[in-house]
Structure 1
Amino acid sequence: MNSRAQQLQAFDRLLDIMDDLREKCPWDRKQTLESLRHLTIEETYELADAILDNDLNEIKKELGDVLLHIIFYAKIGSEKKAFDIADVANAISDKLVDRHPHIYGDVVVENEKEVQQNWEKLKLKEGKKSVLEGVPKSLPAIVKANRIQDKVAGVGFDWEEPRQVWEKVQEELSELNTEIEHGDQEKIASEFGDVLFSMVNYARFINVNPENALEKTNKKFIKRFQYLEEAAKKEGKALSDMSLTEMDVFWNESKKHFR
């Protein structure tokens, strides 16, 4: 691995390249905070994909793309005389020191849960009116539900054990079935949302990240379905002309390859 001096040298090189690009490249000169935003979101999702695939080489590349965006935003900030990369680094360093009094102060904690509770209390002392202020509005719904539940758990608003949460899931499923029988679509959608929210909560209690779990299932389904398509093609068949029974043969085969 690289030494600290080599790491700083590499970072300095990236800063120099960013200066060059901003001065000499027509595309880079044109970019603004707003124009980069959707590209940053895309790069973050690409990093998330690489992490789920456990592809360390790809993770390295995607981290570089994300780092470039951070450097880019800081460069634009310096041009606006608002902040530069040193301000960004110092701001997060100051926050980490302030938020970890059990490391940089005299606070004693017993476990991870107490660290999380202290974190949320410190944020309220910093001026936040609600522990939920830090949950971005644009997060995907499942990720947002998970973050909301993490946040409120950090101040003690939580179930005591997984069994209670599972009972809540069952209760929400029952309420959903009732509304399905009544046929009110708006209430059905509302109860379905409650089921999903309770399942996300249960995932937290059994140490499962619901977003990651669902995305892994998405990837698995895609691979299995594409296997089905290829198997049918090899036999000269179109899926639209096959019965479900015929497709099930290939589908069951795909499960042996993609678990």
Structure 2
Amino acid sequence: MTDSDPGAALARLLAIMARLRAPDGCPWDQVQDFASIAPYTVEEAYEVADAIARGPDFPQLLDELGDLLLQVVYHAQMAQEAGHFGFAQVAEAIAAKMIRRHPHVFGEAAARDAGMQERAWEAQKAAERAARAEAGTLAGVPVGLPALTRALKIARRAARVGFDWPDAPAVLDKLEEEAAELRAELPGMDRARQADELGDLFFVMVNLARKLELDPEACLAGANAKFERRFNQMEARLAARGQAPADAGLAAMEAEWQAVKAAEAAAGG
């Protein structure tokens, strides 16, 4: 299936959004602002990622992409009402940026190597940050990003200028050092110190994922899914014996947990 007239479809969506925000529109939509809508924008982006992870589930992906597009239209409508910019300016700005960042496609440059293009992309982004008076290697990393994603972006920026561990084993050594520092804070019950050391531990783990060329978000998502799968199976095994987890006790739960792991190993999981 292909789009028959994307321009007409987008114009219809823009008109619907304007109608919802009009004085005689939807009371809920009328009172929203950038801050109140921003959490929905983030949520819709995650729902797009979830639809992709599940297959991808194309009917669901179509629906979620529509929800995400609505968020862009929503913000653009509010900006237009405030006299700042409209949807057309948003589209024109990103089109210009893509052309600017791909001189090997739209210009005379002949850099087709992926590594060369990545370096050119970063150089262009650095120039754009400089034009916005964002000084420093770490300037411009959005503070609104999820902490795990922002940690990875910060670490990559630092690594590009040479502030980095030489290899993954060196990061593991640092991980052990940070774990020891956290352990040393446990008896004191100083919550601020514990939070500080735990944060350091998380940051080093993100760097370990980067050194291993793994996505830390995907790694954690996989761990979440594995824990959920095993916990559900453990719970089902207990239920077959007429027990609930809270009543079975830790020893019984651990025994069933190990049984689930053994069954997965035997099945090659």
| Residues 150-229 of structure 1 aligned to structure 2 (within 5 Å) | 150-153=156-159, 155-157=160-162, 159=164, 164-177=167-180, 180-181=183-184, 183=187, 189-229=195-235
Query: How much does 1:188 deviate?
Result: 5.5
| Residue 13 of structure 1 pairs with residue 15 of structure 2 | no
Amino acid at match of 2:127: L
The alpha-carbon distance between structure 1 residues 158 and 6, as it changes in their structure 2 partners (threshold 3 A), is farther
Higher mean C-alpha deviation, range 16-25 or range 83-92 = 16-25
Comparing 74-83 with 110-119, greater Cα deviation is found at: 110-119
Answer whether contact 1:117 1:156 (CA < 8 A) is retained: no
- Give the distance between the partners of 2:68 and 2:107, measured in 1 at CA: 32
Distance apart, 1:179 and its partner CA:
5.8
What amino acid does structure 2 have at the position aligned with 1:105?
Answer: G
For the Cα contact (< 8 Å) 1:232–1:238, is it kept in 2? Answer: yes
Q: CA deviation at 1:134?
A: 1.9
Matched, 1:25 2:44: no
Moved more, 58-67 or 104-113: 104-113
Aligned in 2, Cα 1:158/1:104: closer, same or farther, shift over 3 Å?
A: farther
Q: For residue 75 of structure 1, what is the aligned residue in structure 2? A: 77
| Structure with the larger RCO, 1 or 2 (CA within 8 Å, 6+ apart) | 1
Per-residue CA deviations over 1:50-81 (Å, capped at 9, x if unaligned) read: 33334433222222111101111111222222
Deviation at 1:35, TM superposition (A): 2.2
8 Å Cα contact 1:200-1:210 kept in structure 2: yes
For the residue of structure 1 that corresponds to 2:143, the secondary structure is coil
Aligned position for 2:36: 35
Identity %: 32
Provide TM-score, normalisation by structure 1. 0.82
Structure 1, gaps ≥5 residues long: none
Whole-Å separation in 1 of the counterparts to 2:248 and 2:230: 17
Q: Which residue of 2 aligns with 1:242?
A: 248
| Contiguous gaps of at least 5 residues in structure 2 | none
Q: Which secondary structure state, in structure 1, belongs to the residue aligned with residue 5 of structure 2?
A: helix
Partners of 1:227 and 1:254 within 8 A in 2: yes
Partner of 2:53: 52
Residue identity in the other structure for 2:38: R
